[in-house]
Amino acid sequence: MSNIKDNHTFTKEDRKNMELAIKLAERGRGDTNPNPMVGAIIVKDGKIISSGYHRQAGLHHAEIEAINNSSQSLESSTMFVTLEPCTFLGKTPPCVNEIIKHNFKEIVIGCIDPNPKVNGRGIEFLKKAGIKVKIGLLKNKIEQQNEVFFKQIKTGTPFICCKIASSIDGKLATKSSDSRWITSERSRMQVQDLRKEYGCILTGINTVLNDNPYLFPRKNIEYSYKNYDSQKCYRVILDSNLRINLDSNIVKTSNLAKTIIFIDDKNKSKFTGKIKKLEENNIDVLPVNKDIVESTGLDILKIIKILYKKYEITSILLECGPALITSFLKRNLIDKFVFYFAPKIIGGDSDYNMFTSLGINKIKDSIDLRFENIKRIGSDIAITAYPLK
């Protein structure tokens, strides 16, 4: 629907107010999925009189929280909100109705909501009610803040981020598979926050067999199931031949986090007993075909589709070995990388380089990245990068 222009002019004070709304929205990171992060502030007579943000999916949206937090009349005030107010009844009532009820003078919107149920309708509702609407303030910043939401709404596919922790020479582990711990405690603690942002953590069976991980967000760095940070976070394992051990940490903690194991369809009848035991432990075992391009792996595109359609998983965090990372990369499925480089050199030939062969012989054919953020974390360096597709 949206063909609304966002070529309005904004003052320095407008930008300051929207920056504050963006900071408020950030407080919801990791808790709002599948909804976007949204922040709102209300200004009257040049002063901020109220604010709010979307705290969690199913709770009040930012606009309603800001309205409810106000102790004075909102008539003739201005609301700054990072995303267009909704117009449909979901888990909460439409925000535009409540905004109109309070006789706001003006609504300044960061960017249009791409959800087909909204997509400009909220703006039209507000204008028809006689409220002045300005759009597009810090639009790019807000879209990047909600990159997961925008990707899955626009494409109908999950946003995929790949986390890689390595030595400075690009090794994920030593030749003997020893990887604990390459990076510092501070980096590993930041990974727990990263995990909270995604709908599932996906890995391959080799990582499970080598590391015996828990694969869920932890409250602190102690490596224990007791530190599970409760939330709706799926664990997804690609295990063609169902090699997972029944006494692994994944199986032992299946009551804490929903777990999905994908196996080769041809192996389903071979492992009926083991599948039954896993299903008794609240683990879904799903057969899929082999990949038509790489016969050694499962059909990744089919797996992604199942995760999105059946489980409503809108974002995936890859924490896996080089072969699986490379399979995703070859198919241009990775939207974002988060690298953690430790000041360590492992050297030598190893099966644990970041990537396996990509078949690239010339520099002009290399996969280019855009570095978005580079920072020190303790003794490590963290780099956020996006493939230039």
Catalytic residues: 63
CA 30 to chain centre: 8
For residue 98, which of 132, 150, 61 has the smallest C-alpha distance?
A: 61
CA 77 to chain centre: 34
Q: What does residue 355 show for φ and ψ, rounded to 5 degrees? A: -130, 150
Residue 36 per-residue DSSP state = P
Q: Are 203 and 324 in contact (CB under 8 A)?
A: yes
- 12 SS3 class: helix
Residue 88 per-residue DSSP state = S
Three-class DSSP labels, 270-336: HHHHHHHHHHHCCEEEEEECECCCCCCCECHHHHHHHHHHCCCCCEEEECCCHHHHHHHHHCCCCCE
CA gap 43, 46 in Å, rounded: 6
Residue 86 per-residue DSSP state = P
First to last CA, the chain: 27
Q: Are 86 and 96 in contact (CB under 8 A)?
A: yes
